[in-house]
Copies of this chain bind each other. A is one copy, B any other.
């Protein structure tokens, strides 16, 4: 920690601050600058608490932490890249993994068609929403448990592992029973009760970045899972909130690359939610691959114009197949 004192602090005030930091078990180096005194605190302790305490003291101008606030997710903790096995498929390994499927499970027929269509084009996992987080209470909220049962049957028939979102601690058990990978949606990235529950699970989790989260906050959300004992975490960048009304969100590929640099966890991108525009998705899929992503999650629907949700940003089979083709070259 580096603590800079206010201008014109007295010796006594400085000593008070040093005293307080020492109470937390740190060693102190006070450095007198031309303008102000700066205090460096070194040691191992509860940095966050100490930081908060010191910042609250009236003589302190600013307190900054030097070390990263997370531990288990960091590349310093584990230098080898983590590979997550979902059934036959390995995320974070040598292969670039594409997960695809419709926004919501609408019917057995629709999801079965989707599974076949995306598998044919090279997707390795099937996505499909059973519980849908919707901005309005009047929008379609998903088929719920019925959708989970449909997904189970589709997996049995096609062999495709399933990724699907869990919205609440109440549903963790039932979702975990039916799917291979549980998705935490962007709106729930800081639903800490949910993260803690998923930390106790021994199943892969796909953790989406909140549209207003820094890379650091995203990694700290993942830290909740690893600290709870679940190491099978895949990070997913899906666009951050920005000001241009012509794009749904801003796909932050540099943030994705930074997360992959700071952490050993696999990182994938979701260009469908990031752009909200079908015509930009293929280019952004290729860009994510080029930026070092370990994979993608893409919305694909057998008949986008008749999709119940997200049709605007869903690819149909021919454009998905074409996109996959261009990525192989």
Interface residues, chain A, with chain B CB atoms under 8 Å away: 2, 4, 7, 20, 29, 31-36, 38, 40, 42-44, 46, 48-49, 52-53, 55-58, 64, 66-67, 69-71, 76, 133-141, 167-171, 187-188, 190-194, 210-212, 214-217, 220, 223-224, 227-228, 240-247, 250-255, 257-258, 261, 271, 274-275, 277, 279-280, 283-284, 286-292, 304-312, 314
Residue pair A242, B244 in contact (C-beta under 8 Å): no
Residue pair A247, B255 in contact (C-beta under 8 Å): yes
Residue pair A244, B255 in contact (C-beta under 8 Å): yes
Point out the residues of chain B lying under 8 angstroms from A240, CB to CB: 242-243, 250
| Known pairs A31-B42, A254-B275, A261-B279; A170 contacts B193 (CB<8 A) | yes
| Known pairs A193-B170, A254-B247; A223 contacts B38 (CB<8 A) | no
Residue pair A167, B139 in contact (C-beta under 8 Å): no
Q: Which of B171, B246, B275, B277 contacts A214 (CB 8 A)?
A: B246
Residue pair B48, A138 in contact (C-beta under 8 Å): yes
Residue pair B38, A2 in contact (C-beta under 8 Å): yes
Residue pair A220, B290 in contact (C-beta under 8 Å): no
When all copies of this chain in the complex are counted, the total is 4
Point out the residues of chain B lying under 8 angstroms from A220, CB to CB: 135-137
Q: Contacts A52-B312, A138-B223, A253-B284 given; 12 further ones with Cβ under 8 A?
A: A2-B2, A2-B40, A46-B138, A52-B311, A56-B304, A168-B191, A215-B246, A242-B252, A247-B254, A253-B253, A254-B284, A257-B284
Residue pair A66, B36 in contact (C-beta under 8 Å): yes
Residue pair B243, A258 in contact (C-beta under 8 Å): no
Residue pair A224, B137 in contact (C-beta under 8 Å): yes
Give me 15 A-to-B residue pairs in the complex whose CB atoms sit less than 8 angstroms apart, sorted by A's number. A2-B40, A20-B305, A34-B44, A55-B311, A56-B305, A56-B307, A56-B312, A71-B138, A137-B220, A187-B191, A187-B192, A215-B247, A247-B255, A250-B254, A258-B277
Nearest B residue to A4 by beta-carbon distance? B66
Residue pair A287, B291 in contact (C-beta under 8 Å): yes
Question: In whole angstroms, what is the CA distance A55 to B245 when docked?
Answer: 15
Question: In whole angstroms, what is the CA distance A259 to B111 when docked?
Answer: 35
Residue pair A254, B241 in contact (C-beta under 8 Å): no
Point out the residues of chain B lying under 8 angstroms from A56, CB to CB: 304-307, 311-312, 314
Question: In whole angstroms, what is the CA distance A259 to B136 when docked?
Answer: 16
Question: In whole angstroms, what is the CA distance A314 to B57 when docked?
Answer: 11
Nearest B residue to A251 by beta-carbon distance? B254
Question: In whole angstroms, what is the CA distance A305 to B284 when docked?
Answer: 34
Q: Which of B66, B271, B290 contacts A33 (CB 8 A)?
A: B66
